[in-house]
């Protein structure tokens, strides 16, 4: 039902039309609402809080009284910081306009936080609606990271991370044997193995310093120290830190080919730019050359660039100085159609005619730094090739550190990659054993133990060779008499017997021998006759 009312505007009278609401039957002007429902019914029928969460969870640390924003933030109850944390927990507020927000008082022991919100939203035809509601949040206890560190019983206080970013592990194998020989790992809690090295964990900082100082005496290293605050007592001014030592080893390793900068060669008296590293201690030893850890050197590894050469002739050439001489070796290589090449080498007392040597073929290397060098040898011999079948006759073994592998991966393809890395590491360790077997100087710093299982499998002839130490053949003046091949081999007299305290003593054999002697003595007594 429509009703018309007159509305006076100045001297003119304009009629005003009103209708009845379809819900409450109250008269209202439809031109203002543009609906058939009055304003009060619209407010009663519409809920603009739909889609807004009215409950939430706030993470609270009871020890440091901080709330998780993130990060963990210290704020008091009914503070602006806590209010912002609570509003961020609500969903759907981006569709409405917040008019007011305030806390409703609750007891702290109730672990409840109530927030009174007033929002505004356009409902119908430019009709803005305002509504007030209460949101409730529950405080959930969660220990923050700092409190976890403070209340967790820490098993280690210092760690030493030894890293060498190279493709092979020869340096770490040698370092492992040095630690075992001199008992430098007696205070270690655990050892973890990673891709580029080892992690040593200690209880105190002094034990970690002891390892770092020992490493500085045997290898050129670069050390970086860092610490992290675990806990502190403000009243007594005590701080508890965790210390980490990052130890970097040089990328140059034994048997690597080193290319020196031209400026350094001039400072050292005009030495050649291409050098072979034959030893690694506190300084890097190329042939008659000393290098520092801080220098950036370009190195080439033998693992990826090795070639085989067959020895044709070995000749000692004396210089004008009677006390000096060098070895000239004639070799052939398959890549050069077996054309003989004569090179100078430090392996003259090791190589013989007909043997196979392993080294670098510089003519096959594609390296930019070699293009600037005018005079460099075609081939560089590194060591003699060892027959893999001779590994079956190896009568010694080495002890290993008990390290945990923390790089374990899951999945089919990842497992295959892990297995490939493990097989590659085992092959590298066998090559390291070959170097130990033929290098007397290296064996001085390593404890070799008898491998009883392999000794039992050896034949009598092979066992006799291992038992007898061959006498070194003295070189006569101007005679080409060389040392025997087996002179540097490991003998049984050089090996230590592995002591295992868990093994029980074997008493069966001595008891049987004594019992046999007693039985034989009794049988002899039975044959004795006593004459009256």
User: What is the longest distance spanned by two Cα atoms in the chain?
Assistant: 176
Residue carrying the six token digits 């090791």: 350
- The helix, strand and coil proportions of the chain, stated in percent and rounded to the nearest 5, come to 30, 30, 40
pLDDT tens digits, 299-316: 787 777 888 888 888 888
Nearest Cα residue to 297 out of 346, 247, 263, 246: 263
**pLDDT value for 476:** 39
Half-sphere exposure of 175 (CA within 13 A, CB side): 27
Contact 205, 243 (CB under 8 A): yes
**pLDDT value for 473:** 39
The answer for 10, left when phi > 0, alpha when psi is -120 to 50, beta otherwise, is left
Counting DSSP H helices and E strands in the chain, the numbers are 14, 26
**pLDDT value for 524:** 62
pLDDT above 90 for 247: yes
**pLDDT value for 13:** 56
Cα(170)–Cα(188) distance, rounded to whole angstroms?
22
Q: Break the chain into its structural domains and give their ranges.
A: 17-46, 47-146, 254-292, 305-385
The fraction of the chain above a pLDDT of 90, given in percent, is: 17
Angle made by CA atoms 376, 377, 378, in degrees to the nearest 5: 120
Q: Please list, in sequence order, all residues whose beta carbon lies within 8 angstroms of the beta carbon of residue 196, skipping any fewer than 6 positions away.
A: 163, 164, 165
pLDDT tens digits, 3-37: 545 555 555 555 667 788 877 877 877 766 667 77
What pTM was estimated for this model as a whole? 0.61
Task: Please give the span between the terminal C-alpha atoms of the chain, in angstroms, as a whole number.
Answer: 160
**pLDDT value for 201:** 92
Query: What is the chain's mean pLDDT, rounded?
Result: 77
pLDDT tens digits, 164-217: 888 888 888 889 999 988 888 888 888 988 888 899 999 889 999 999 999 998
Alpha-carbon 12 to chain mean position:
92
Cα(352)–Cα(315) distance, rounded to whole angstroms?
10
Please give the DSSP secondary-structure letter assigned to residue 488. G
Between 500 and 451, the higher pLDDT residue: 451
Helix axes 412-438, 170-181, angle to 10 degrees: 60
Nearest Cα residue to 328 out of 377, 386, 363: 377
Cα(241)–Cα(333) distance, rounded to whole angstroms?
59
Handedness of CA 44, 45, 51, 57 (dihedral sign): positive
- 3-state secondary structure (DSSP) of residue 196: coil
Q: Which CATH architecture has domain 305-385?
A: Beta Barrel (2.40)
**pLDDT value for 384:** 85
Beta strands in 322-402 (DSSP E): 325-332, 341-345, 356-361, 379-384, 396-397
Confidence of residue 388 (pLDDT cuts 50, 70, 90): confident
């Amino acid at each position: 039902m429509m009703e018309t009312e007159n509305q006076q505007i100045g001297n003119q009278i304009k009629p005003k039309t009103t209708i009845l609401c379809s819900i409450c039957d109250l008269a209202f002007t439809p031109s203002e609402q543009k609906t058939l429902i009055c304003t009060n019914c619209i407010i009663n029928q519409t809920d603009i809080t739909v889609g807004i969460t009215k409950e939430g969870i706030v993470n609270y640390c009871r020890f440091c009284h901080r709330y998780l924003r993130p990060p963990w933030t210290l704020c008091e109850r009914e503070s602006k910081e806590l209010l912002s944390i609570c509003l961020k927990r609500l969903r759907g507020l981006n569709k409405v306009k917040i008019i007011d927000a305030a806390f409703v008082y609750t007891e702290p022991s109730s672990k409840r936080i109530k927030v009174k919100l007033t929002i505004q939203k356009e409902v119908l035809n430019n009709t803005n609606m305002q509504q007030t509601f209460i949101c409730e949040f529950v405080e959930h206890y969660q220990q923050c990271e700092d409190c976890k560190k403070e209340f967790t019983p820490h098993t280690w206080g210092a760690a030493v991370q030894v890293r060498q970013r190279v493709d092979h592990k020869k340096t770490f194998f040698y370092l492992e044997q040095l630690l075992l020989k001199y008992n430098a790992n007696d205070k270690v809690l655990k050892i973890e193995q990673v891709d580029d090295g080892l992690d040593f964990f200690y209880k105190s900082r002094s034990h970690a310093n002891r390892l770092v100082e020992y490493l500085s005496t045997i290898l050129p290293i670069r050390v970086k120290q860092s610490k992290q605050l675990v806990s502190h007592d403000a009243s007594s001014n005590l701080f508890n830190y965790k210390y980490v030592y990052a130890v970097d080893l040089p990328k140059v390793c034994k048997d690597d080919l080193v290319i020196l900068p031209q400026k350094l060669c001039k400072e050292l008296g005009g030495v050649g730019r291409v050098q072979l590293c034959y030893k690694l201690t506190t300084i890097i030893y190329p042939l008659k050359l000393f290098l520092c850890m801080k220098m950036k050197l370009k190195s080439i590894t033998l693992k990826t660039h090795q070639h085989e050469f067959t020895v044709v002739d070995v000749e000692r050439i004396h210089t004008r100085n009677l006390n000096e001489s060098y070895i000239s070796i004639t070799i052939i290589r398959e890549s050069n159609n077996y054309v003989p090449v004569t090179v100078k080498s430090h392996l003259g007392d090791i190589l013989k005619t007909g043997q196979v040597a392993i080294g670098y073929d510089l003519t096959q290397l594609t390296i930019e730094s070699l293009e600037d060098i005018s005079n460099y040898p075609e081939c560089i011999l590194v060591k003699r090739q060892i027959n893999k079948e001779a590994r079956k006759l190896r009568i010694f073994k080495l002890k290993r550190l008990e390290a945990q592998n923390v790089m374990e991966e899951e999945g089919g393809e990842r497992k295959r990659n892990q297995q490939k890395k493990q097989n590659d590491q085992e092959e590298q360790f066998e090559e390291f054993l070959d170097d130990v077997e033929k290098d007397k100087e290296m064996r001085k710093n390593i404890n070799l133990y008898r491998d009883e299982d392999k000794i039992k499998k050896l034949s009598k002839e092979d066992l006799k060779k291992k038992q007898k130490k061959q006498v070194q053949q003295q070189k006569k003046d101007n005679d080409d008499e060389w040392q025997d091949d087996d002179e540097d081999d490991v003998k049984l007299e050089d090996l230590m017997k592995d002591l295992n305290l868990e093994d029980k003593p074997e008493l069966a054999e001595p008891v049987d021998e004594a019992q046999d002697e007693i039985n034989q003595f009794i049988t002899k007594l039975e044959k004795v006759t006593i004459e009256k």
